Amino acid sequence: MEQPAFKPVLSHVVTDRMVFVLKATGEREPFDREKFIRSVMRGGAPRDVALSILQELEGGLRDGIPTREIYQRASKLLSSYDKRVSLRYALKNSIMKLGPSGFPFEDFVGAVLTAIGYDVSVRNVAHGRCVKHEIDIIATKGATSTLVECKYHNFKGVYTGLKEAMYTYARLLDIKEGYAEGHIGAKIESAMLVTNTKFSVDAVTYSECRGIELLGWRHPGENGLETIIDRERLYPVTILPDLRPHEAATLAACGIVLLRDLARFREEDVGDKTGVSKGRVLSLRKEAADLLG
């Protein structure tokens, strides 16, 4: 059924009632209305729409309401305004679902790197001078192969820091020395650290000094992970609001990583591959196609 057009509320009166929300970490904190408005506007919604959505939500807020529930309600309201905006708003949360669902973050990063011109090989082993290394991704562009270290966090506000940057560089050195001494492995000449959150200042400073490429939330600058995902329409299937955790894991095991992967498959093929009922797959596929326009 076609959704009704979104009608912004003209009177933006919101209550001053203090409501405490429950974060994913188990912490309680006051609901920050301005923070909520900013998060909606970052997806591309104008301020009057963000205020309207806040007003729609206010009546249903209660002490102890999980932030997950607030996000789900806001996503549904946004989808009636603009599906592309709703995707941008839901993006960070959908990536946070990759780990708990059993959906490997490195597979998603591999799909992102492929879309921007790399040839990728996921989950490799290389022998360094000192030890054997399990490498998340080897990404090749032209004649240069890059070690890609994926650092996934399933909580917001967690930074990828100096320790991870130093660890990535140390692995690169050991692998390069191992290759020079004739150990079995790829000729890897550079390193990249990818995360679904932000980098600390020290991580950025060290990586710039050591020549490690960084890709994360709002980094580098205007070409961060979220920008690439939105520009190339590389939304993970976990962005579907009604997708169940076991379905996400099953789809991932069958190589269905992105929303567009699901939208392009015939429901018969997806059902045969995943064991999910054809009716359910048809519903998910239609939802994916609708979101992608």
Which of these ranges, 3-12, 52-61, 199-208, 273-282, has the smallest mean pLDDT?
A: 3-12
Q: Taking the domains of the chain in order of start, what are their residue ranges?
A: 20-81, 105-232, 237-292
Chain Cα centroid distance, residue 36: 19
Which residues neighbour 282 within 8 Å (Cβ) at sequence distance 6 or greater? 267
pTM: 0.82
Q: What is the pLDDT of residue 10?
A: 36
What are the tens digits of pLDDT across the range 30-69?
A: 999 999 999 899 888 999 999 999 999 988 899 999 988 8
Q: What are phi and psi of 178, to 5 degrees?
A: -65, -40
User: How would residue 110 be classed by pLDDT, with cut points 50, 70 and 90?
Assistant: very high
What CATH architecture applies to the domain 105-232? 3-Layer(aba) Sandwich (3.40)
Q: Extract the tokens encoding 189.
A: 């000449």
Residue 87 has pLDDT above 90, yes or no: no
Give the pLDDT confidence of 111-132 residue by residue, as tens digits: 899 989 999 999 999 999 999 9
CATH 3.10.450 correct for 237-292: no
CA distances from 289 to 70, 173, 215, 261, 293 (A): 25, 44, 28, 10, 6
Residues 6 or more apart from 182 whose CB is under 8 A from it?
none
Whether the pLDDT of residue 180 is over 60: the answer is: yes
Q: At what angle do helices 33-42 and 47-58 cross, to 10 degrees?
A: 130
pLDDT band with cut points at 50, 70 and 90 for residue 287: confident
